[in-house]
A = this chain, B = another copy of it.
Amino acid sequence: MAVNSSKLSLLEALKEKRSNYVSGEALARELNVSRTAIWKHIKSLRKNGYTIEPCPKLGYKYMAAPDKLLPLEILHNLKTNCLGRHAIHFLEVGSTQDVAKEMVVKGASEGTLIIAEGQTKGRGRLGRTWLSPQGQGIYLSLILRPHISPIHAPRITLMAAVAIAHAIEAITPVEAQIKWPNDVLILHRKVAGILTEIDAEMDRTNAVILGIGININNDSTSFPRELRNTVTSLRMETGREISRLGLLQTLLLELENLYETFKVKGFIPILGVWKEKDVTIGSRVKAVLMDRELVGQAVDIDHEGALILRDEKGDIHRIVSGDVTLLRIR
């Protein structure tokens, strides 16, 4: 469904008079469009799942929006200036990351959001799968175009982890934690993941494609048995349905605020808030790297976002990327 401004205005006018009938004539007058345009928009909205009751004498009554992350709904009351203001929605897609990458090549602007109700080939880090059952989570890709060297792109990942943790805590009563580098946990179970990909030259980033998956209204049966001890959803943690739309809007605003801070003040303030939510530093960890495994104490995250690990012998290792398991939590 294309978002045009008169359709958005119509929807907002209907929502304002929620549960009351408004005549097509009054709507046409208010929005300064023809009655035919009103009729067409209403038809399109209903086709997209909006419950709008027509009544021959009285006009139209807005009843409910569909439980979908439609651009029209995302835009309604969205407080960001840039992120998510241009959004593409899919009922089902292979991977939002792949759509975003193709849009990057075609010149999509910063802040463009690709979002899907479900993914058939949702991707996680290192070629892994991200389970993306229909309507249960948030599966999105955001196109960012920061003026950074490609080697600094991991900073965007850490920033996103903070934004997710903050958004979860703003919308639910649970406490979110971050495990280095980019897992968002609740009570040590993974609730969200981040896949940051770049399209870059050697010394110039064309685009960062920030992929985020959050388990929201899944119940435990939506996860394979072997994952049930390590993953969770917001519904499983809070015992209630969570508004995906509300969480998404909050997340976009948190991301935008942190991203502005990052662009103006650099990475250090981001690292500061990251550390407040971190559960890695001080824990005993196992780090699986490309070519070896290390076990030891997570001592710090340095100003580049790398993990500093002290092994059994007391040797210090600087880990730029890898898989970390918490063995004994601080």
Tell yes or no: A250 within 8 A of B by CB: no
Complex contact B290–A201 (CB within 8 A):
no
Complex contact A204–B105 (CB within 8 A):
no
- How many copies of this protein are present in the complex? 2
Tell yes or no: A127 within 8 A of B by CB: yes
A239 vs chain B, min Cβ distance (A): 35
A217 vs chain B, min Cβ distance (A): 28
Tell yes or no: A59 within 8 A of B by CB: no
Tell yes or no: A22 within 8 A of B by CB: no
A77 vs chain B, min Cβ distance (A): 33
Give the complex CA separation of A150 and B196 in angstroms: 13
Give the complex CA separation of A181 and B202 in angstroms: 11
Q: A289 — nearest CB in chain B belongs to which residue?
A: B203
Using a Cβ–Cβ cut-off of 8 Å, how many residues does chain A contribute to the interface with B?
29
Complex contact B290–A149 (CB within 8 A):
yes
B105, B153, B181: the one contacting A101 at CB < 8 Å is B105
Q: A322 — nearest CB in chain B belongs to which residue?
A: B203
Tell yes or no: A198 within 8 A of B by CB: yes
Evaluate whether A150 and B149 lie within 8 angstroms (CB atoms) in the complex, with A105-B101, A201-B197, A202-B196 already known: no
Residues of chain A from 198 to 212 with CB closer than 8 A to chain B in the complex: 198-204, 206
A142 vs chain B, min Cβ distance (A): 16
Evaluate whether A199 and B101 lie within 8 angstroms (CB atoms) in the complex, with A126-B204, A149-B290 already known: yes
Q: A203 — nearest CB in chain B belongs to which residue?
A: B321
Give the complex CA separation of A290 and B147 in angstroms: 11
Residues of B within 8 A of A105 (CB): 98, 101-102
A322 vs chain B, min Cβ distance (A): 7
Residues of chain A from 80 to 106 with CB closer than 8 A to chain B in the complex: 98, 101-102, 105
A207 vs chain B, min Cβ distance (A): 10
Q: A98 — nearest CB in chain B belongs to which residue?
A: B105
A181 vs chain B, min Cβ distance (A): 8
Q: A125 — nearest CB in chain B belongs to which residue?
A: B201
Residues of B within 8 A of A98 (CB): 105
Tell yes or no: A294 within 8 A of B by CB: no
Complex contact B157–A202 (CB within 8 A):
yes
Tell yes or no: A154 within 8 A of B by CB: yes
Residues of B within 8 A of A154 (CB): 202
Tell yes or no: A65 within 8 A of B by CB: no
Complex contact B101–A203 (CB within 8 A):
no
Evaluate whether A198 and B195 lie within 8 angstroms (CB atoms) in the complex, with A101-B101, A102-B102 already known: no
Chain A residues within CB distance 8 Å of chain B: 98, 101-102, 105, 125-127, 149-151, 153-154, 157, 181, 195-204, 206, 290, 320-322
Given contacts A102-B102, A126-B203, A203-B290, 11 further A-B pairs with CB under 8 A are A101-B105, A125-B203, A127-B204, A150-B198, A157-B202, A196-B202, A197-B200, A197-B206, A198-B201, A203-B320, A203-B322
